[in-house]
Amino acid sequence: MAARGHVQDPNDRRLRPIYDYLDNGNNKMAIQQADKLLKKHKDLHCAKVLKAIGLQRTGKQDEAYALAQEVAALEPTDDNSLQALTILYREMHRPELVTKLYEAAVKKVPNSEEYHSHLFMAYARVGEYKKMQQAGMALYKIVPKNPYYFWSVMSLIMQSISAQDENLSKTMFLPLAERMVEKMVKEDKIEAEAEVELYYMILERLEKYKEALDVVRGKLGEKLTSELQSRENKCMAMYKKLHRWPECNALARRLLLKNSDDWQFYITYFDSVFQLIDESWTPPAEEEHSLEGEVHCSIEQAVNFIEERITEESKSSRPLRGPYLAKLELIRRLRHRGCNDEYKLGDPEELMFQYFKKFGDKPCCFTDLKVFVDLLPPSQYTKFIRQLLDVIPLAAAAENEVALPGDIKALQQHLCVVQLSRLLGIYHAMEKKQKLAVVRELMLRYRHGLEFGKSCLKTELQFSDYYCLLAVHLLLDLWLEGEEAAVWQCLTLLEEGLSHSPSNAQFKLLLIRIYCRLGAFEPVSELYSSLDAKHIQHDTIGYLLTRYAGSLGHYTAASQSCNFALRFFHSNQKDTSEYIIQAYKYGAFEKIPEFIAFRNRLNSSLHFAQVRTERMLLDLLLEANISTSLEESIKSMSLSPEEDDIPWKDLRDNRDLTVLFSWDPKDRDISEEHRKLSLEEETLWLRIRSLTLRLVSGLPTLGHTIQPKNSEKTAENGVSSKIDTIRALLQQLEAAVDSGKKFLEQKIQYPVLGPPPTRMAGFFSNGSCQCQTSLFYLVSDIYELDTNGLEDSAEIQERIGNSFKSLVERLTDLFNKCKGDLIEVRDGTLKTHPNLLENLVFFVETISIALWVSSYCDSVLRPFKSNLQKKKKKKKESSVAMPPVFTHFLDYVTELQTLTSNVIDHIKGLEIILTALKLEELSLKDTLLLQEEKKFTKTVQGKVQSSYHHSVQEIGELLKKRLDTIKKLKI
């Protein structure tokens, strides 16, 4: 707001106080000040707009919009009004109105460079590429500056990217853009690097790789200086596209001579060598090998080249990892091709040993060697680890004690070996006793290592943190093998680790996963917010939070976590437009398509669709027919059963499933297959949830309409088409449920640190699915009763009566699956039953749907009853028979009320048990627990107990509100 340009104008002085009030967030004072000013100066348009901004910010959107339109209709051309209106429209999320504003201003002041560029940026915000092209050219005609001309060219490229027809893009937009740039090249008007980048981009998109290469290698290419090796990288990309392997090889070789630590050029060098061998390429006898110089086209040359790099490296003042890893990479490729030449390079085991001796004290040593461990034969694993341990300087205080490192270097080396032991599966093969002994040793090393990090800041990680993590991974193995106590020890060690290293994200992420697996969501909210997830992370790791919040009964926290995520997704739309505008301003043209692709990827995000759907279901669960009617709730969400806004075909799984470190061997780690299956499962579950939401949103549209039987009009008034929509959605739901059941038959087990499974299995097994589906079928029957009337509908009434009976039975079954202790103490160990909690949450949801359907039944049966009573009075007979459907409905409502009361009593019982559970009395008899660990164990168990208590309370509160709505259902 403060950047308003410096204009000597008395109005500026008058407006200053209003600007200040708005900048300081004092909107009411801003409105008052604007009113005062408008009394004296009626024609001061800017004051009106500033008042509108104040109104917008105090929630009076309609008044603000009306005021703004008043000013916009006058087509102002003063800078203050235009800028203020731009700010207002942006806050209203109506960028399209800014374009109209500047279109009018440009007509009135046709030679204003400023207004023309504002118009261009306004078009950029709404993605009007054709108009951007025209605005850019109009600007260039007024002020012939190169950037304006190239804005127009870039807008042509954007038209080609957004065109549905690829043919049109390649035959019209891109060639036109190419001709426009060629014109500037011929006239020698190319000035900036961005303009050359744009020319290269056009040629690349037109697949004119030869011409693009000539541009980069020619005089224009000299302007490519802002990025290191920008020219070489572009040449390399074009050589690859053109399959000019000799040039690829020579250029990679030349760049490696300059910098023998640049890994990407080793990869290109090897790729090109093997391509040339496969093509049996031989260098020409007389002339140059290639445009880029000497070419290597045999394995001998490659081996010698790598050996030379290692010799060179030994003379270097700084040790370089590249040449040594390149040797291992070459061995791997030769082995993969079945060549017998790998012996020339040496034994991989010995090479890895030498590499460890040289770089073992660097944290990157493990990740470097991890890629090449499959070169070792499994029979050599133990020997290899022993060999590494022998070269680490460790000292033991006494004979039988653990030998500990004396400095950070030795600690890093030892940590590397421990990580490799886990990766090679040595720990997995151990017995339970051995594993526990290793856990003890690792924790001893962890605590000893803390001495080296005494001077670390709170934001720094301790050097020995990985010991603690590896110990937890071993305990997780034991837990999965059925050792219940191990999971509590995991939490204990992680909480201890976090107390020493409060910024360690791995500790927090692992705690989040384990607490959620145990059904305790309360500690998770705090842990997640302390991760301080930024921007895109709400999409990549947000699933860790949103998957469990609602399903464990923490409704308030679930609402908040959904809001966090949705706020990011919604602001992405607005923010991306700003990034695009900045890219135009600074000539970063190649970034513009990336920003657009980024925005599209987020709009198609699986997590976005899930959070949106779950958030709306949650809002209905918490509010519909409690604080507002179902109809109002659905209206406020702009929900419609006909509309499906999820881009099913383009859904993108942006989750980061490897966010948790894992040192597991390949066969135990998360695989590509797991990712595919998880995406399939998530999509199936999303489809079921989305259809449920749309079916619920269809209930109010069926509103009771009194129509004569078999009326022709029903189709016209739209209600019958609404029931058709409901029936069609019901068929889709049945199909989705069938697909879900088929999927679950595969009995997929994801790795413990892999993707969390959806709630689908519980939804089917506890009977919620059958309950909810039959509720929607009941809607169809009630509608039929409504259209046929009571007279000839004995069969429908009987069907409805049976449905009511079976629904009560199913709901009772579902309740029975919620019974049991949530936390129990068994053999001195705590065991939680999160599935019971999830079943309770499903019960609340199902009973809520039952009540919304009952409200619809109520709205249909009430008018019938009042009609019957009128008939009674007319005939003055006391014996007008009441149709059975009324009795059925009343019985059903009474049973629902009884059932809900029973569940509330059950929950009260759970609350009493949870409160009475004295965890202190748990005999922490495990001799493995040290005194300081016992302190953390108490904290952990207290957190889990408190979380369950909280869940039960929130579920109980919601059910009480639902019970009140049942009591109103007496026809």
- 786-837 tens-digit pLDDT: 888 877 778 888 899 999 999 999 999 999 999 988 988 877 788 899 999 9
Report the C-alpha gap between 110 and 490 in whole angstroms.
Answer: 71
**The dihedral of CA 113, 114, 115, 119: what is its sign?**
positive
Q: What confidence score (pLDDT) does residue 3 get?
A: 47
In the predicted structure, residue 776 carries a pLDDT above the cut 70: yes
**Residue range 467-511, pLDDT digits in tens:** 999 999 999 999 999 888 899 999 999 999 999 999 999 999 999
Report the C-alpha gap between 858 and 856 in whole angstroms.
Answer: 5
Mean pLDDT of the 739-743 span: 96
Mean pLDDT of the 907-928 span: 71
Q: What confidence score (pLDDT) does residue 929 get?
A: 55
Report the C-alpha gap between 151 and 195 in whole angstroms.
Answer: 10
In the predicted structure, residue 4 carries a pLDDT above the cut 50: no
Angle (nearest 5°) at CA 701 between 698 and 703: 130
In the predicted structure, residue 665 carries a pLDDT above the cut 80: yes
Mean pLDDT of the 22-31 span: 89
Percent of the chain whose pLDDT exceeds 90? 63
Q: What confidence score (pLDDT) does residue 2 get?
A: 46
In the predicted structure, residue 10 carries a pLDDT above the cut 80: no
Report the C-alpha gap between 218 and 203 in whole angstroms.
Answer: 14
Model confidence at 438, in pLDDT bands (50, 70, 90)? very high
Does residue 717 or residue 262 have the better pLDDT? Answer: 262
Model confidence at 773, in pLDDT bands (50, 70, 90)? very high
Mean pLDDT of the 916-930 span: 58
Does residue 708 or residue 802 have the better pLDDT? Answer: 802
142 token code pair: 């007024």
Find out whether 348 and 375 touch, Cβ atoms under 8 Å. Answer: yes
Mean pLDDT of the 156-167 span: 87
Find out whether 353 and 383 touch, Cβ atoms under 8 Å. Answer: no
Q: What confidence score (pLDDT) does residue 762 get?
A: 94
Q: Report helix angle 61-73 to 45-57, nearest 10.
A: 160
Q: What confidence score (pLDDT) does residue 338 get?
A: 82
Find out whether 1 and 22 touch, Cβ atoms under 8 Å. Answer: yes
Q: What confidence score (pLDDT) does residue 529 get?
A: 92
Model confidence at 930, in pLDDT bands (50, 70, 90)? low
Q: Average pLDDT of the chain?
A: 89
Model confidence at 134, in pLDDT bands (50, 70, 90)? very high
Mean pLDDT of the 578-597 span: 91
**Residue range 371-429, pLDDT digits in tens:** 999 999 999 999 999 999 999 998 877 777 888 998 999 999 999 999 999 999 999 99
Report the C-alpha gap between 423 and 559 in whole angstroms.
Answer: 40
Does residue 299 or residue 3 have the better pLDDT? Answer: 299
In the predicted structure, residue 170 carries a pLDDT above the cut 90: no
Nearest to 836 by CA among 907, 771, 919, 744: 907
Nearest to 99 by CA among 591, 590, 577, 594: 577
Q: What confidence score (pLDDT) does residue 921 get?
A: 53
Report the C-alpha gap between 470 and 464 in whole angstroms.
Answer: 10
Report the C-alpha gap between 503 and 459 in whole angstroms.
Answer: 5
384 token code pair: 């290899």
Model confidence at 953, in pLDDT bands (50, 70, 90)? very high
Q: What confidence score (pLDDT) does residue 878 get?
A: 58
**Residue range 136-149, pLDDT digits in tens:** 999 999 999 999 99
Percent of the chain whose pLDDT exceeds 70? 94
In the predicted structure, residue 176 carries a pLDDT above the cut 70: yes
Q: What confidence score (pLDDT) does residue 922 get?
A: 54
**Residue range 258-304, pLDDT digits in tens:** 999 999 999 999 999 999 999 998 888 777 878 888 899 999 999 99
Model confidence at 706, in pLDDT bands (50, 70, 90)? very low
Model confidence at 44, in pLDDT bands (50, 70, 90)? confident
Check residue 821 and give left, alpha or beta (phi > 0: left; psi -120 to 50: alpha): beta
Does residue 876 or residue 941 have the better pLDDT? Answer: 941
